[in-house]
Chain A
C-alpha cells in the first residue's frame, strides 16, 4: 500500500515527461527494428533508395497529451470509438502509463465484452473513462467478484445497477467489499436484505472513504441528535447524505431545524430536504416568511409542505405555493 502510494507520487512529480518517454518507446518499437535491419553504413545519403521506406515514421517528440499519438495508435482510436474520454484519462499520468501498455485485441477486448453484459454498450465509454484501470485487472478476478455478489443474494439486475453506477466496485477485492458491507451492517444494525437495498440504492457508498462516512454518521447522530433507529431510517432513505461534506450538512440542518423550526420528525419523513443546497432553501423560506406563508405545520390551515421548498422550478413554486408571479420572487431575491 505504502509502496504504491509512493509510486503514485513519483509519477505525479514526473508527470508528462514520463508518459511521453514510455509512449515514444512503444510506438517506435516496430519502426526502429526495421530501421536497424535496413541500415547500410557505407551508403551515400543522397543516393536514391529502391526499398520500401513506408515503415519509417518521423520522431515522436515529447508531448503533454494523448492527442499527439491518437492518429498512430489503433488501440487509442478504438477507445475513442467506444466514447472513452481520453482527455480525462490523461489527467492522471500513472494511469495512462498502464493503459498504453495494453493492446486492444489482446488485453482490452475480453474485458469490454465482459463489462458489456453488465453495463451496456452506451455506457461503456463513460465507465472506462471513470475507471480505466479496470482494463488492467485480471478477468478471473472480476468474475470472482461478480460471483461473490451472486453468492450474497444479489439479483442479476441489481448487480448490473451496482456495477454501472459505481465503476470502482469491481476494483475492490471480495475481502474488502465484504469488510465494507459488514461495516455498514454493524454500524447501522441492518439485516441482510437492508444491506442489499443500501448497496443497490447507492453503490458508491460502499466503496466510499470510510472516514468521511464515519464523520457524517457522527454528525447525524450526535450533532443533529437523531436516535439510532432514526439514523438507520434516514440513511436507508437517502444514502447519499453520508457522502456529503459534513460542514455543509450541519449548516443545512442548523438552518432547517433552528431557524425554520422544523422538527426532527418532519426531517425524518422528508430527508431529501437535507440534500438541497442551503441558499435555495433559505431564499424560498425567507420569501414565504415575508409573505406570511411560512406555515409548515400540517395540522393548521395554509399548510406549506416542506418538500415544496426544494422541488420544482421557481416559476412553479411561485404559482403553486407562494401564489404570486415569479417576478415578485426575483425582486425579492435582489433585496437579500
Chain B
C-alpha cells in the first residue's frame, strides 16, 4: 500500500489509470461518483496545508499604524468548505460497461483521462464471460425482461453446443475479413490476413474473435467471448441466437468482463477497496502495465496485438 503524509502530495500523485471491478446493477456513472467521493473523503482526512496568515493594518490613520499577522478566517475549512471536492477530481471511463454488466472497468483519474481516451481509440479486445440459461426466451434477451417463450432443452448436449458455438465463431471470422475495409481478392489483404487476426475498419461494428463454451450444466451454461466494439445488448442477442440455433431458446443471465487489453480481473479493485491507498497502489500497477506494453495506447497496424 502507498502511505501519504499530506493531502497536497497525495493529490498531485493522483494522475493515471485505475482498474476497478464494476459490480452488476451499478451504473458506470455511479462508480465514478463513488470513486471521486471516496478520494475526496480520504484526501480531506489527511493533514492538509496550513491555514494562511493575513496581514492587517490597524489603528488610527493620524498616528503610526500597527501591522499585525493574524490567522485568515476565510481560509479555514469550516468557512470555505472542504479542501477537496468532487469537482476537483476528473474521472472518465475507457470503454463503457452497461448497467447490468460487471467486471473490469478502466477509469482515468485527472491526467489519466487522456490515457482513457487513447485506450478508447486504440480499441483493445475485451474478454467476457457470458452466462446464459436454456429453456426460456425474454423480450429483452436478458433476465430483466418478460418471458416470451418456453421450450425444452433436454436434447442439447455438450457436443451440440460446442458445434454451434464453433460455427458461430467461424461465421464471425469471415465477417472480420469483410469488415477490414480492404478488397477481398487483393494481395494486400492476403498479406494482412496471413499474419493473423485483424481489426475492423469501423469502430461501431462488433467483431468476435473467439467464442468457447467453458461451462455446461443444463440449463445453465457459460461462454467465453473475445471481441472488439461489442456492447452488452449485442452479447445478449448472441445468447438468444445461440438458443435458436440449438433448436431451443436461451436468455442471458449475466455479462462479466474478465479482461480488457492487458488488464485482467486479478488487478481490478473491489468495491470495498475503493479508497485512496488502494487506488494509488492500483494506479502504479496499471502504469507498469502501460509502460511494458506501449502498443496498448498506439496500435501500429490493423493486426490484433492485445
Near B by CB (< 8 A), chain A positions 279-298 give: 279
The reply to whether B272 and A314 form a contact with Cβ atoms under 8 Å apart is yes
Residues of A within 8 A of B58 (CB): 54
Residues of A within 8 A of B102 (CB): 336
> Which stretch of B75-83, B166-174, B244-252 is in the interface?
B75-83
B53-65 interface mask toward A, CB cutoff 8 Å, 1 = contact, 0 = none? 0100011111001
The reply to whether A80 and B268 form a contact with Cβ atoms under 8 Å apart is no
The reply to whether A335 and B256 form a contact with Cβ atoms under 8 Å apart is yes
A68-88 interface mask toward B, CB cutoff 8 Å, 1 = contact, 0 = none? 101100001100100111110
The reply to whether A279 and B23 form a contact with Cβ atoms under 8 Å apart is yes
State in angstroms the CA–CA spacing of A221 and B208 once bound together: 51
Residues of A within 8 A of B21 (CB): 333-334
State in angstroms the CA–CA spacing of A84 and B73 once bound together: 12
Of the candidates A53, A71, A87, A279, which one forms a contact with B73 in the assembled complex, judged by CB atoms under 8 Å apart? Answer: A71
State in angstroms the CA–CA spacing of A86 and B78 once bound together: 6
Residues of A within 8 A of B272 (CB): 314
State in angstroms the CA–CA spacing of A314 and B272 once bound together: 10
Residues of B within 8 A of A229 (CB): none
The answer to the question of A50 belonging to the interface, with a C-beta cut-off of 8 Å to chain B, is yes
Residues of A within 8 A of B62 (CB): 50-52
A32-53 interface mask toward B, CB cutoff 8 Å, 1 = contact, 0 = none? 0000000000000000001111
Residues of A within 8 A of B304 (CB): none
The reply to whether B60 and A71 form a contact with Cβ atoms under 8 Å apart is no
Most buried by B among A77, A83, A335: A335
Chain A nearest CB: distance from B69 CB in Å? 13
List the A residue with the shortest CB-CB distance to B54. Answer: A71
State in angstroms the CA–CA spacing of A84 and B78 once bound together: 7
State in angstroms the CA–CA spacing of A65 and B77 once bound together: 13
Q: Which interface class (under 10, 10 to 19, 20 to 34, 35 or more) fits B?
A: 20 to 34
The reply to whether A70 and B79 form a contact with Cβ atoms under 8 Å apart is yes
Residues of A within 8 A of B72 (CB): 71
List the A residue with the shortest CB-CB distance to B272. Answer: A314
The reply to whether A71 and B74 form a contact with Cβ atoms under 8 Å apart is yes
Q: Which interface class (under 10, 10 to 19, 20 to 34, 35 or more) fits A?
A: 20 to 34
B263-306 interface mask toward A, CB cutoff 8 Å, 1 = contact, 0 = none? 00110101110000000000000000000000000000000000
Residues of B within 8 A of A71 (CB): 54, 72-74
The reply to whether A83 and B78 form a contact with Cβ atoms under 8 Å apart is yes
Of the candidates B23, B76, B81, which one forms a contact with A80 in the assembled complex, judged by CB atoms under 8 Å apart? Answer: B76
The answer to the question of A330 belonging to the interface, with a C-beta cut-off of 8 Å to chain B, is yes
Of the candidates A54, A76, A77, A86, which one forms a contact with B60 in the assembled complex, judged by CB atoms under 8 Å apart? Answer: A54
Chain A nearest CB: distance from B221 CB in Å? 15
The answer to the question of A67 belonging to the interface, with a C-beta cut-off of 8 Å to chain B, is yes
The answer to the question of A66 belonging to the interface, with a C-beta cut-off of 8 Å to chain B, is yes
> What residues make up the interface of B, taking CB atoms closer than 8 Å to A?
21, 23-24, 54, 58-62, 65, 72-82, 102, 256, 265-266, 268, 270-272
Closest 3 CB pairs of A and B: A87-B81, A67-B74, A70-B73
Q: A68-B74, A334-B266 given. 15 additional CB < 8 A pairs?
A: A52-B62, A53-B61, A54-B59, A54-B65, A65-B80, A66-B79, A70-B73, A70-B74, A71-B54, A77-B73, A80-B76, A83-B78, A86-B79, A87-B77, A334-B268
| Cβ contacts A to B, 26 pairs, < 8 Å | A51-B61, A52-B61, A54-B60, A54-B61, A54-B65, A67-B80, A70-B79, A71-B54, A71-B74, A76-B79, A80-B76, A80-B78, A80-B79, A83-B78, A84-B78, A85-B78, A86-B78, A86-B79, A87-B77, A87-B78, A87-B79, A314-B272, A330-B270, A333-B21, A334-B265, A336-B24
